[in-house]
Chains A and B, each alone.
Chain A
Amino acid sequence: MAQTAVTAPPLAAMSRSGRRRGDVVSRRRARWGWAFTAPFAVILLVFLIVPLVFAFVLSLQNTTLAGGTSWVGFANYIKAFTDPLFLSGVWTVVLFSIVLIPIQMVVSLIAALLLDALTSRFARFSRLMIFVPYAVPAVIGALMWGFLYSPSFGPAQEVFGWIGLTAPDFFADQNVFGSLVNIVTWQWAGYYMIILYAALQGVDPTIYEAARVDGASAFQTAVRIKIPMIASSLVLILVFALIGTLQFFNEPQMLRGMASGSITSHYTPNIYAYTVAFSYHQFNYASAIAFALGIVIFVGSYVFMFATRKRSGLMK
Chain B
Amino acid sequence: MTAADTTADTTIAVTRGAGRGKQTPAGRTGRSAPRRRALAIPHIILAAFIVYFALPFWWLIVASTKSQQSLFDGKTSPLWFASHFDLFANISALFNYSGGLYARWLGNSFLYAIAGGLGATVVSVLAGYGFAQYAFRGRRAFFAIVLGSVMVPATVLVIPLFVMMSAAHLTNTVWAMILPSMLNPFAVYLMKVYSDEAIPAEMIDAARVDGAGELRVFGRVALPLLRPAIVTVLLLSIVGTWNNFFLPLVMFSNPQLFPITVGLGALQSQAQVNTGGQALWNLVITGAFLSIIPLVVSFLTLQRYWQGGLSIGSVK
- Residues of chain A touching chain B, judged by Cβ–Cβ distance below 8 Å, are 26, 29-37, 39-41, 43-44, 47-52, 54-55, 58, 107, 110-111, 114-115, 117-120, 122-123, 125-126, 128-141, 143-148, 152-155, 158-159, 186, 189-191, 194-196, 198-199, 201-203, 205, 208-209, 212, 218, 232-233, 236, 243, 246-247, 249-250, 253-254, 257-258, 270, 273-274, 277-278, 283, 286-287, 290-291, 293-294, 297-298, 301, 313-316
Contact = CB atoms under 8 A, between A and B. Distances in A.
A36 B130 contact: yes
A205 B25 CA distance: 8
B134 A33 contact: yes
Contacts of A254: 265, 268
Contacts of B63: 147, 153
Contacts of A313: 6, 10
A148 B59 contact: yes
29 contacts: A32-B134, A32-B136, A54-B160, A55-B160, A58-B159, A111-B46, A114-B42, A119-B24, A120-B39, A130-B50, A138-B243, A140-B264, A141-B56, A143-B284, A144-B60, A148-B56, A158-B77, A195-B310, A196-B314, A201-B14, A201-B21, A202-B14, A205-B23, A218-B38, A246-B153, A290-B156, A301-B151, A315-B3, A316-B1
Nearest to B59: A155
A47 B179 contact: yes
Nearest to A269: B155
Contacts of A136: 292, 295-296
A145 B288 CA distance: 11
Closest 6 pairs (CB-CB, A-B): A33-B134, A36-B130, A202-B17, A33-B136, A198-B311, A40-B127
Given A31-B136, A186-B53, A254-B265, A274 B3 contact: no
Contact size class for B?
Answer: 35 or more
Contact of A43 (B160, B183, B313): B183
Interface stretch (B96-104, B139-147, B223-231): B139-147
B51 to A, nearest CB: 9
B151 A243 contact: yes
Contact of B156 (A52, A125, A278): A52
Contacts of A52: 152, 156-157, 160
Contact of B136 (A30, A47, A146): A30
Given A129-B54, A249-B246, A118 B39 contact: yes
Contacts of B79: 155, 158-159
Nearest to B145: A44
Nearest to A286: B159
A297 B151 contact: yes
A52 B164 CA distance: 11
B6 A209 contact: no
Interface string B233-259: 000000100110110001000000000
B303 interface: yes
A47 B183 contact: yes
Contact of A37 (B3, B126, B162, B214): B126
B71 interface: yes
B307 interface: yes
Contacts of A205: 20, 23, 25
Given A143-B264, A153-B78, A128 B300 contact: yes
B134 A43 contact: no
A153 B142 contact: no
Contacts of B307: 194, 198
B219 interface: no
A140 B291 contact: yes
Nearest to A314: B3
Contact of A139 (B25, B42, B54, B264): B264
Contacts of B288: 140, 143-144, 147
A37 B129 CA distance: 8
Contact of A55 (B14, B50, B157, B265): B157
B18 A198 contact: yes
Nearest to A292: B156
B182 A43 contact: yes
Nearest to B311: A198
Given A33-B130, A47-B161, A191 B310 contact: yes
Given A54-B163, A118-B46, A147-B63, 10 more contacts: A33-B139, A36-B129, A135-B295, A138-B245, A196-B314, A201-B18, A202-B16, A212-B27, A218-B38, A283-B159
B55 interface: yes
Contacts of A186: 52-53, 56
A112 B179 CA distance: 37
A250 to B, nearest CB: 5
Nearest to B17: A202
Interface in B1-32: 1-3, 6-7, 10, 13-14, 16-18, 20-25, 27-28
B88 interface: no
B201 to A, nearest CB: 13
A31 B179 CA distance: 26
A199 B126 CA distance: 28
Contacts of A31: 136
Contacts of B77: 155, 158
A35 B130 contact: yes
Contacts of A118: 39, 42-43, 46
A138 B243 CA distance: 7
B28 A37 contact: no
Contact of A247 (B129, B155, B306): B155
A257 B290 CA distance: 22
Contacts of A246: 153
